[in-house]
Structure 1
Amino acid sequence: MKSRPMKNHSEGTLQHLHEKVNLLEQSNRELERKSTFFETLMRGIPGLFYVFDDKFHVHLWNKNVETTTGYDAEEIPERNIFELFEGDDLPHMRQAIQNVFNTGEGVAEAMLVTKKGERVPHLFTGVRAIIEGTPYLLGIGLDISKRKLAENSLRESEALYRIFAERMTEGVLLFHRGTIQFANNAFSTILGYDEPNQLMGLDIMEFVHKDFEMYFKDLFDSLESGMSTERFFQARWIRKSKDQIWLEGRVNVIQWKGNPTVLLTARD
């Protein structure tokens, strides 16, 4: 009678260990791959990337944080996140960050104060994540200096337009899609109004004589659509008293408060 050969117990144990080692190596390779991908992603973010806990200590950041703030890799973990803000921005950012931890997400604008004391306007975003039972905020900060500069330049341009218009002896109107946005004193006088503000929000076509309505509609459409850049006119208009008045002038398209707007200058 033949006996069945028995599998060596030590060989089975070694094979089991070998399989375990292979699984661990595979897991390590996958972890390294994910880690490399995450590091590449952080480096590619066009701005600040940061992760800090509910005690406001930073645990993870990209190189842009060091470059922008001026703090090196040894200093950042020792810093409280609120050391980067001052003045009215400090309570504003405290509340914004707390809102992220409370609600799960948030957005805020503030001046980031660098190690050298420079103030750089940033737009900050954040989302909450619970990692091993601890709440963290993951976020991105974008430098909005160029946008702020453009906004300031726009405000300055609008102020200049207003000053020049108010001091002109000719009547000046600004309107967008037919709605009056600005009038100077001269134009309000031409139309029989006491104050320029009385014209704000009114439809420009209310003052055009019916015989010229189609003419002006075509004229304004050609300007606002970009088909024309400047047009001249002579036409009858209607004053507040319903009297008719002949006006001559010209119209152009300018940028006003970020919108293409018709600039009309006229005299009677």
Structure 2
Amino acid sequence: MGTSFGPVDAARWIAVPGPADDKYTRGVVGLVTGSARYPGAAVIGVEAALHTGVGMARYHGAGRPTRLVLQRRPEAVTAEGRVQAWVVGSGQDPDDLDELTAAHRDRALADPVPTVIDAGALPFVERVAGTRVLVPHAGELARVLGRDRSEVLAEPAASALDAASRYSAVVLLKGHTTRIADPGGGLLEVSAAPAWTATAGTGDALAGVLGALLATHALELEADPGCAAPLAATATVLHGLAAERAGRGAPFTVLGLCAELPAVVRELLAG
């Protein structure tokens, strides 16, 4: 049984900029997400990161997703430069990825900064040089562990803890109750999302939210990589509360979820 993590806990892990901050000190998150086949994942991840609060989002990908990202968010930066956290793999199939995007992915995985490892990047977890945060659903975690999906669903907490220990990573196992396991055996549990959240694209948004939180807490993570677990739990809380606001008991779109993130941040900070 894990430790329950909720809105009061999450409020402590939201970075608030001060008058001396600029776009670099507020956190720069890099994203290598989406692909020619799944370009929407790139748009959603950038949208979620910017709505969570960062000084800059750098996006690197193929031509089509890059164009779509810039059409939706012209403030996204596509030039090379330093980042404080990466989001890699959302909307990517490792067996069907163009050479440019694969090269960006490999450079990001080799950068020793905290990295959110999603979807198509999960097979490359052992290449990640920085603090590792895996964000699989049950089927993806089953493949990572070499098990059947039914085994992960039967023992989600134990499966997340096993993967955390095996890969020296924080593992955020998505679900109606999300489990966040750390390599030391700690387990946090978050139950904040309505069932309507089970829709395409919400995982891409969660990865973007988490990437933003890692970037805005770069100094804390450098001093204590163990901060990645409560930051992952905070991302889950923000994501779930934004889904509640977007749907209000009904279906909602992923961009609608992203649009509610600033209000959720405001309410958590207000207590």
Return the index of the structure with the highest Cα Rg: 1
Is the helix fraction higher in 1 or 2? 2
**What TM-score, normalized by structure 2, do the two folds share?**
0.20
**What TM-score, normalized by structure 1, do the two folds share?**
0.21
